[in-house]
Amino acid sequence: MKFAAITERLAGLGGAKWEIHNKARALGRQGRDIIELTIGEPDVPTPETLVTAAIDALARHRTGYSSGEGEPGLRAALAERYSQRNGRPITPDQVMCFPGTQTSLYAVMTGLVQSGDEVLVGDPMYATYEGVIRATGAKMVPVPLRPEHGFRMQASDIESRITPQSRVIFLNTPHNPTGSILTADDIKAIGALAIKHDLWIISDEVYEDLIFDGKPFTSPLSLPELADRVIVASSISKSHAAPGFRSGWCIGPQAFTTALLPLAETMLFGNQPFIADMTEQAIRDGSPVARGMCQRFAKRAQHLEKRLTTDTALTVHQPDAGMFALINVSATGMNGAEYALHLLEHGGVAVMPGASFGASLTNWVRVALTVDDTAFDSACDRIIQHAHALQMETA
């Protein structure tokens, strides 16, 4: 039997990138004591106010069909939020709602590119980006995010890779897995390239509310000169500790949302009204948990760097936002994949190989900052002990 070409384009993606995480879960089921630092799951439950809002909406029988664009109340709330944030008017007609950022990005990318087109995206990148691009038939063009630039995408690196087939610059700020934030100057330089070469800009901003204290944030949506070419995607998954509700959106030019509507209707014809009502409340009230998560994640990242720098040859990249830190493991003589497997089997700590996020992180691993302080400190102990054991083996 034959399958569609999309299955070949996506072969080897998806679950294959999470091999270490799945192995850690299997070992845990066998009774092994494993500390998981693989997935970016919020370290607090969804706020009770939002759970209650969803239940109340269910009680009001908000379970009928929705508009393909999303519920009017939610779209209005998002338009108000983004108008205030960006200092220019955003209308509800520029908003479309989807089940989570992932679905939003899939729809947006499908609406912008096709076979023969090219998408410029930072390397490293979130693990699903390659699939979102390749699903359309377009070619992914990695743009290296260099440690010496704080893992921030540089306009010069983008420009050297632009061809006549280029259609989209795909940004993620704040960035997963590096925790870097594009500066206002970065955004202006990238925006100038987009104008010069008539490119779209997609900006995944799901970590916007998890920026550590004192760090500024600029969205390309705030630049009036980019108004006709920027699409922002986000959700409440991280900001409101509500990943299981699958509630996201995109904001873009009205001409784009109008063109995308038939695709959205073909995919799922709107998200669930009771979840939309809960999300509207979340947007209007703001997050009661984001600030606490920011403080804890920043503290754990600093703790990780202090302990590993003091007691091992491993080096830690300090994030400015998000739920993760990166460790350079090249001092062990292993690449990130080899190290992650060895640490899991001999140290009882599960981390993500950097190569799961792109070739430029071959010698790195990603560490989630989302377990409680006691477990995180125990994980640091195990990483240090494991490093000492490796050093003795090679002495």
The answer to whether the beta carbons of residues 54 and 246 sit under 8 Å apart is no
The pLDDT, as a whole number, for residue 47 is 97
For the chain, how many residues are written? 395
* 324-328 β-sheet, strand order: 315-317, 324-328, 364-368, 352-353
The pLDDT, as a whole number, for residue 213 is 86
CA gap 123, 329 in Å, rounded: 18
The answer to whether the beta carbons of residues 90 and 252 sit under 8 Å apart is no
The pLDDT, as a whole number, for residue 11 is 85
Give the pLDDT band (50/70/90) at residue 167: very high
pLDDT at 281 over 80: yes
CA gap 207, 175 in Å, rounded: 8
Mean pLDDT of the region 199-214: 96
Report percent pLDDT > 90 for the chain. Answer: 91
The pLDDT, as a whole number, for residue 395 is 59
Domains of the chain by residue range: 5-45+289-394, 48-285
Average pLDDT, the chain: 95
The pLDDT, as a whole number, for residue 214 is 80
**What does the block give as tokens for 213?**
């204290």
Asked which of 9-18, 288-297, 354-363 is least confident by mean pLDDT, the reply is: 9-18
pLDDT digits (tens, 9 = 90+) for 111-130: 999 999 999 999 999 989 99
CA gap 198, 226 in Å, rounded: 11
Give the pLDDT band (50/70/90) at residue 269: confident
Report percent pLDDT > 70 for the chain. Answer: 99
For the entire predicted model, the pTM comes to: 0.95
CA gap 130, 394 in Å, rounded: 37
Phi, psi of 217 (to 5 degrees): -130, 135
Q: Hey, is 268 helix, strand or coil?
A: coil
pLDDT at 239 over 70: yes
pLDDT at 17 over 90: no
The answer to whether the beta carbons of residues 225 and 195 sit under 8 Å apart is yes
Q: Are strands 139-144 and 118-123 parallel, antiparallel or unpaired?
A: parallel
The pLDDT, as a whole number, for residue 13 is 78
The pLDDT, as a whole number, for residue 10 is 87
Phi, psi of 50 (to 5 degrees): -80, -40
Query: Quick one: CATH architecture of 5-45+289-394?
Result: Alpha-Beta Complex (3.90)
State the number of CA atoms in the 13 A half-sphere of 384 facing the CB: 16
The pLDDT, as a whole number, for residue 187 is 98
pLDDT digits (tens, 9 = 90+) for 86-103: 999 999 999 999 999 999
In DSSP notation, 233-267 reads: EEESTTTTT-GGG--EEEE--HHHHHHHHHHHHHH
The answer to whether the beta carbons of residues 95 and 70 sit under 8 Å apart is yes
Please give the angle made by the CA atoms of 127, 124 and 187, to the nearest 5 degrees: 110
CATH of span 48-285: 3.40.640.10
Q: Are strands 248-251 and 230-235 parallel, antiparallel or unpaired?
A: antiparallel
pLDDT at 82 over 70: yes
The answer to whether the beta carbons of residues 209 and 348 sit under 8 Å apart is no
pLDDT digits (tens, 9 = 90+) for 173-197: 999 999 999 999 999 999 999 999 9
Q: Hey, is 231 helix, strand or coil?
A: strand
The pLDDT, as a whole number, for residue 391 is 84
CA gap 372, 354 in Å, rounded: 23
Please give the angle made by the CA atoms of 228, 76 and 217, to the nearest 5 degrees: 55
**What does the block give as tokens for 182?**
């594009």
pLDDT at 15 over 80: no
